[in-house]
Structure 1
C-alpha cells in the first residue's frame, strides 16, 4: 500500500537530508515539493513542534531539528560497525584522494549512509540517504556472502523487468558473485547506464518527488543488466574505467553489515591500481569489523 500523506512527510525529510546545511523557507518548499501552501505549512509546523525540524526565529527558514539527530543516533544500534567506519572513511578519502562511501541495506533498498571526499560533487546524486534497489546487479558485495536463498531472490529480481528469463544474464551474475566472494571485493565498471544515471540525477530538480527518484533508480538498475557492469577478471595490461571498488564489513553475523567503497575514479586505472585500492579498503574493513565485534563481545 502507498500512503500519499506519509510520502509528503518523507519527501520533506529526504530533501533536508540531501542538503543538510541548507535552510528552506515556506515558499521555496511549497514549490520544490509541489504542495499547496496550507498543506506544506501544516506539515512543517507539526514537524517543528516535535523537533524534527527547527525554524529560525528571524528568517523563518527551516532546518533539520534535534529529533532527527536523536533518530540518527538510535539508528546506530542497527549498524554497530557504523560508529567505527565513519572516521576510517574520512581517513581513506584523504589518503586515496577518492570519494569513499558507506552503504547499508534494508529490505529492498541499498542506502548510502555516509560519503566523504568526492572531488567533483554533483548537486544531487551522491547525498547521504540516496537509495538504490537491492536487486541484481546492484548490491553484489552484500549478496556474495549471503545465504543461498537470498542469492536466488537477488538473481530473480534481476529478471523482473524482462519479458522472459535471460539465461545469459543469470549466468553472468552468478560468475560475478563467485568472483567477488573469491577475491574479497567487488569492482564495477563505468557504463553508459552509469553516465546516464549521473546526468539524470544532476539535472536541477524543480520538484522533489520520491516516486520519481525511485523510478530513475529502477531504470538505472534495469539498464545495468544489459551492460558488463562487473569486472570479473583483473588482468595486467589493460586500463580499466572503474566506477567503484567495494569491500564488505562484518560485525556479528556471517553476512555483511555494511559495504565500504571507493569511487569517483576519474581516470583509467591498471590492475595494480585496483589491487592497491582494494587492499587498502580491505585493511580498513578488517579494522572496522574487529572493532565492532569487540564491542559486541565477539572474539577476534
Structure 2
C-alpha cells in the first residue's frame, strides 16, 4: 500500500508548489509573470501597455519597465503599430527546453492525439504547476465547436476543485489539498470527497458528472484562471469553483447502474446511461507520485456504462505507457485503498 509518510521523499508538483507559495515571494517577479500570462492568454493578438496594465491591475508606467526588460531578453516582441507587444521567440526556446526535460509530456501528447482520433473526443493532458491546475496539451477539438479548455488555462488547485489531481497522491497530500479550500466544506461534503478518493485509487480512473453548472464551469474556469490575475481574482475564482463544482461518480454508480444523485438503478448490463462530463486517469512519476492527468471530454447526458468503461480503458492504457516510460507505477492498484479516513 502506498504510504502517507512524506518524510525524506520527493513531493508531487501540487504539494511542493502549494508549499512554496507560502514561503518568501518576489513581487517584481510576480508582476512579470502576470504580464507574461496576460499576453499568453491574448495570443496571437498583441496588447498595448495600457491594456496589459488593465488586465493585470498595474499602472502602465510599471508595466512599461517590465515589458521593456522582457522585450530586450527576447521573451516579448514589439509590434510597431501602437506599439503593442506579443510573446517572443525566447519563450519558444524555453518551452522546447522544458518539453525536452519532461519526456512524459511528449509521450502523453502523442497518446492524447491518438486517442482523440480514435475516440472522436477532445482529450487533454494537465498537471499542477505553481499551485495551479494547468492544461499542458490538447488534441481533437471537434470541428465547429468552441474549445472547452485551452492550452495554458489555469485555475487554483484547492478543494473541491481538482480532486483527480489529489486523489492518487498520498493521504497527507489529500489532507493538504482539503485544507486549501477557500470556503468551509460541510462534513458530508468532505466525506463524499474522501469516498471519491478511495474509488479513484481502487478503479484507477474517475468519471465526472455532467450538469448545467458543470458545463458553465468548463467555460468560465479556464477563462477566469487565465484572466483573473492577482490574489483577489484567484480567491474569487477558487470560491466560485468551491461553491459550484459538483460531485463525481463513484465506482458503484457504474458497476450497478445506480446514479448517486437519485438512487435509481439496478443491474447494469452496460446499456444504462449516465450524464458524463470528463473521464480522467493519472500518470505516475519515477517516485510513484501522480504526474499528469489525461482526460477525455465526453460532455454527454447519455453515455452508456459500456462506453464509459471503454474510454476509461483506452485512457488507462495510454497513461500506463507514459508511466512505464519513466519506470513509475500506480501504487494503489491491486492493493487495499488508502486510509483517507
TM over 0.5: yes
TM-score by length of 2: 0.72
Match of 1:21 in 2: 44
Distance in 2, Cα, partners of 1:285 & 1:193: 29
* Residue pairs, 1:114-153, within 5 angstroms: 114-119=137-142, 120-122=145-147, 126-153=149-176
Deviations 1:89-120 (A, max 9, x none): 22222222211111112463322112222332
* Residue pairs, 1:156-235, within 5 angstroms: 156-158=179-181, 161-162=183-184, 166-198=186-218, 200=220, 209-211=229-231, 213-224=233-244, 227-232=246-251, 233-234=253-254, 235=257
Distance in 1, Cα, partners of 2:162 & 2:220: 21
Deviation at 1:201, TM superposition (A): 5.3
Deviation at 1:220, TM superposition (A): 3.6
Choose the corresponding residue for 1:272, options 285, 306, 315. 306
Deviation at 1:172, TM superposition (A): 1.0
Match of 2:14 in 1: none
Distance in 2, Cα, partners of 1:265 & 1:152: 30
Distance in 2, Cα, partners of 1:219 & 1:203: 15
Deviation at 1:77, TM superposition (A): 6.5
RMSD: 3.2
Match of 1:284 in 2: 318
Distance in 2, Cα, partners of 1:58 & 1:161: 45
Distance in 2, Cα, partners of 1:129 & 1:167: 34
* Residue pairs, 1:41-60, within 5 angstroms: 41-56=64-79, 60=83
Match of 2:31 in 1: 8
SS at match of 1:262: strand
**1:89/1:115 contact within 8 Å kept:** yes
Distance in 1, Cα, partners of 2:190 & 2:58: 43
- The structure-2 alpha-carbon separation of the partners of 1:38 and 1:132, relative to structure 1 and needing over 3 Å to count, comes to closer
**2:149/2:218 contact within 8 Å kept:** no
Match of 1:262 in 2: 296
**2:158/2:238 contact within 8 Å kept:** no
Match of 2:119 in 1: 96
Q: Structure 2: where are the runs of 5+ without partners?
A: 1-23, 258-267, 329-341
Match of 1:40 in 2: 63
Distance in 1, Cα, partners of 2:166 & 2:222: 29
How many residue pairs were aligned? 287
- The structure-2 alpha-carbon separation of the partners of 1:283 and 1:200, relative to structure 1 and needing over 3 Å to count, comes to closer
Larger mean CA deviation between 248-257 and 15-24 belongs to 15-24
- The structure-2 alpha-carbon separation of the partners of 1:245 and 1:126, relative to structure 1 and needing over 3 Å to count, comes to same
TM-score by length of 1: 0.81
- The structure-2 alpha-carbon separation of the partners of 1:195 and 1:77, relative to structure 1 and needing over 3 Å to count, comes to same
